[in-house]
Amino acid sequence: MEFDLIARHFTRATPGAVLGVGDDCALLAPTPGMQLAVSSDMLLEGRHFSPQDSPAGIGHKSLAVNLSDLAAMGATPRWATLSIALPEADDAWLTAFARGFFRMADMHGIELVGGDTTRGALTISITVMGEVPPGQALRRDGAKAGDDVWVSGVIGSAALALAYRQGRLFMEQIDAARVLPALYLPTPRVELGIALRGIAASAIDISDGLLGDLGHILQRSQVGAILEFAALPTLPVTQAYLHEKVARDCVLAGGDDYELCFTAPANRRDAVATVAQSAGVAVTRIGRITAEPELTVIGTDGQPLPFDHTGYDHFAA
């Protein structure tokens, strides 16, 4: 049964691998002179997605969040492994899941080369592998005082959608429809990450919240930052709800954005704008790095904005 499931849903040609699905191990030949970037993420039903969510959307999101890690390192996607625990063998669910997964894989040229299936609570675990030239990986420890802080795209939309879905924020249905796609179908900024090699001093993807994820850069780089709340890029529909504290928290610390937060020297602003335009992604300068190891958000009144938390806690109740 297990091997039939793998053969039906997850076995495809893998011209970029020496040997793909079907043996005890895949055989991979990285491009000579390149370094491998490897990352793993796990998604659990009830924690990262709901039972009623579209299986195609789950397939899309499960790979997208992993590709976002490669984007944050400036790595070119190459290969992935996929392990799934399923309560039961459900061909219709797997067919739709595989459709969403492979649509995302084909968009970014990544090949599925192995994995595992077993019975259990619905759990999806993916490992992705990418390539980056030596010394050019975007890391968290390169931010310097005086650097600009940037984010790609818009933030807060996915968290706003989740708050609406959980009943923590009332939204008009027409407004909710504008933010829900960000929760279900995130876009990894792979092309932008690659384009920022040699320009960005540090980078991270925003998965657990802007303040929390930027905090990882600040901690690793031993610096601080001052951000301007008014500069944070959000959808107009999000701005309409910012009078609500929960909406402000969604923007600052909501998570699930899968945008890139990165720093770059102030004299590279033109270069950042040029590569962002070539990648087709809007970027916004939201603050600057400081020597003092403290993170401050300045509100519209020019005063520091209080915040209760900085990001998603995977072990919170």
- Was 313 annotated as part of a binding site? no
- C-alpha–C-alpha distance, residues 233 and 150, integer Å: 10
Query: Measured between alpha carbons, how far is residue 101 from residues 1, 2, 60 in Å?
Result: 21, 19, 5
What is the per-residue pLDDT for 48? 82
- Was 83 annotated as part of a binding site? no
Low-confidence ranges of the chain (pLDDT < 70): 1-12, 309-317
pLDDT tens digits, 108-166? 999 999 988 889 999 999 999 999 999 999 999 999 999 999 999 999 999 999 999 99
- Was 248 annotated as part of a binding site? no
Give the closest residue to 77 by CA, choosing from 36, 27, 135: 36
- Was 314 annotated as part of a binding site? no
What is the per-residue pLDDT for 147? 98
- Was 148 annotated as part of a binding site? no
Q: Do residues 117 and 81 touch, judged by C-beta distance below 8 A?
A: no
Looking up tokens 């990418």 gives 130
- Was 175 annotated as part of a binding site? no
Reading the block at residue 145, the tokens are 């005082």
Domain ranges of the chain: 2-132, 148-298
- Was 147 annotated as part of a binding site? no
Half-sphere exposure of 138 (CA within 13 A, CB side): 31
What is the per-residue pLDDT for 11? 66
Whether the pTM exceeds 0.75: the reply is yes
Regarding the domain with residue range 2-132, which homologous superfamily does it belong to in the CATH classification? PurM-like, N-terminal domain (3.30.1330.10)
Query: Measured between alpha carbons, how far is residue 154 from residues 191, 210, 251, 253 in Å?
Result: 17, 11, 9, 13
Regarding the domain with residue range 148-298, which homologous superfamily does it belong to in the CATH classification? PurM-like C-terminal domain (3.90.650.10)
- Was 208 annotated as part of a binding site? yes
Bridge partner residues of 289 (DSSP):
225
What is the per-residue pLDDT for 312? 46
What is the per-residue pLDDT for 15? 83
What is the per-residue pLDDT for 242? 94
- Was 207 annotated as part of a binding site? yes
What is the per-residue pLDDT for 314? 43
- Was 24 annotated as part of a binding site? yes
